[in-house]
């Protein structure tokens, strides 16, 4: 399922020294799973479910350690740690792979996907599946897509029309598309690790951000962002990744069992992500800490119009074929 010429060659090399990569014959294979969010988020829950199922079913052959909240590695170093096999599983946001492939930036294009169901369809179709493999020659193998949710815009002032964002500075993930998206609004963007977002908003180092409800709630960002506009303008999803040297060195039968567990966890995460986000939306509203601004169709169309020029700007880098494949998954009529 997850093979390539590069990885098979690498695998042969590693099998000769499997213990160096955590796949000895007698000791358990150690899988360190590091991530940057809280346990009570779709990704946090997925990591814990993976650990539980592995430990229930694999009879001590594999040991999983989960490190949440950037407690082992954070945004600045986790992908390099994976490539160096210091950690064996990560699930970074799709916006964090730009250094290794431009194609995944399709997921950052604003207003490309109407909703999480559309994102799901794209990820399941041929082009989406293909994107899981595009970083293998860079030492990253994609195992699954995990949902979080659609992003909302928050700020220290009410954002009703695109012009309201002008002059503000927004925290972004390390993605040129996201930078360009805010430039379209005549705002500026600062790349900051997720672990620093709360403090940066609190101190007004940046005045706004874009996050799904679950990340806003679990990091209490609504306590330092008095306004949240329900734009649903983009998606924040994850790719569960390992490094091919480690992954393909795992004995075949154990790897098949791990792949089965990953399928099961992926189904569970993706099934409950939307509901988890809606529950957090409700908690934020009930807290009264932040005013939630909803947009009517006409207002949302204005945001779309303001941001959409970035599609053309990045078409060549991402690939027109990738963008076209993503466009076909929407089912709603355009306004």
- Binding residues for ligand SIN, rule: CB under 6 A, are 36-37, 93, 148, 173, 194, 211, 215, 236
For residues 108 and 257, which CB has a smaller minimum distance to ligand SIN in the complex?
108
Q: Looking at beta carbons only, is 95 or 180 nearer to ligand SIN?
A: 95
**Which residues fall within 8 angstroms of residue 165, CB to CB, at 6 or more apart?**
153, 155, 159, 182, 185, 186, 187, 208
Q: What are phi and psi of 293, to 5 degrees?
A: -110, 120
Q: Residue 90 and residue 35: Cα distance in Å, rounded? A: 6
Closest approach, Cβ 268 to ligand SIN, in A, equals 17
Burial class (CB in 10 A: 0-12, 13-18, 19+), 39: middle
Q: Using CB atoms, what's the residue nearest to ligand SIN?
A: 194
Q: How far is the CB of 95 from ligand SIN (least distance, A)?
A: 7
Residue 295 pairs with which residues in a beta bridge? Answer: none
CB of 194 to ligand SIN, least distance (A): 3
Structure tokens at 53: 């199922």
CA distances from 331 to 40, 115, 271, 328, 334 (A): 31, 10, 19, 8, 9
Residue 224, SS3 per DSSP: coil
Considering the complex, state which of residue 10 and residue 47 has its C-beta at the smaller distance from ligand SIN: 47
Nearest distance in Å: CB 276, ligand SIN: 12
Comparing CB distances to ligand SIN, the nearer of 21 and 217 is 217
- How near is the Cβ of 97 to ligand SIN at its closest, in Å? 12
CB neighbour list of residue 94: distance below 8 Å, 6 or more residues apart: 104, 107, 108, 235, 236, 237, 238, 239
Given the complex with ligand SIN, which of 173 and 181 has the nearer CB atom? 173
Least Cβ distance, residue 35 to ligand SIN (angstroms): 6
CB nearer to ligand SIN: give 10 or 206.
206
DSSP state of 240: E
């Amino acid at each position: 399922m997850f093979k390539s010429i590069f990885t098979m060659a690498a695998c042969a090399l590693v099998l000769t020294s499997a213990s160096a990569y955590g796949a000895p014959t007698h000791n358990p294979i150690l899988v360190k799973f590091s991530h940057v969010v809280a346990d009570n988020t779709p990704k946090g829950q997925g990591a814990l479910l993976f650990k539980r199922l592995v430990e229930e079913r694999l009879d001590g052959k594999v040991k999983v350690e989960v490190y949440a909240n950037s407690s082992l590695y954070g945004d600045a170093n986790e992908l390099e740690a994976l490539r160096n096999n210091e950690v064996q599983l990560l699930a970074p946001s799709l916006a964090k792979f730009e250094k290794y492939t431009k194609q995944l930036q399709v997921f950052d294009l604003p207003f490309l996907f109407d909703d999480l169901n559309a994102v799901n369809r794209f990820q399941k179709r041929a082009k989406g599946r293909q994107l899981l493999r595009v970083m293998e020659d860079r030492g990253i193998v994609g195992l699954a897509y995990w949902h979080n949710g659609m992003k909302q815009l928050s700020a220290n002032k009410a954002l009703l029309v695109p012009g309201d964002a002008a002059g503000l500075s927004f925290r972004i993930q390390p993605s040129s598309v996201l930078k360009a998206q805010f430039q379209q609004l005549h705002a500026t963007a600062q790349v900051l690790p997720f672990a620093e977002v709360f403090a940066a908003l609190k101190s007004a180092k940046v005045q706004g951000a874009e996050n799904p409800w679950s990340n806003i709630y679990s990091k209490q960002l609504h306590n330092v962002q008095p306004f949240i506009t329900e734009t649903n303008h983009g998606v924040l999803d994850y790719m569960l990744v390992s490094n091919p040297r480690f992954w393909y060195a795992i004995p075949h039968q154990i790897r098949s069992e791990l792949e089965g567990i990953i399928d099961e966890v992926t189904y569970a995460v993706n099934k409950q992500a939307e509901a988890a986000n809606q529950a957090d939306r409700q908690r934020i509203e009930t807290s009264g800490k932040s005013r939630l601004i909803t947009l009517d169709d006409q207002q949302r169309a204005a945001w779309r119009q303001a941001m959409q020029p970035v599609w053309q700007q990045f078409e060549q880098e991402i690939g027109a074929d990738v963008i076209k494949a993503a466009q076909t998954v929407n089912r709603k009529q355009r306004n």
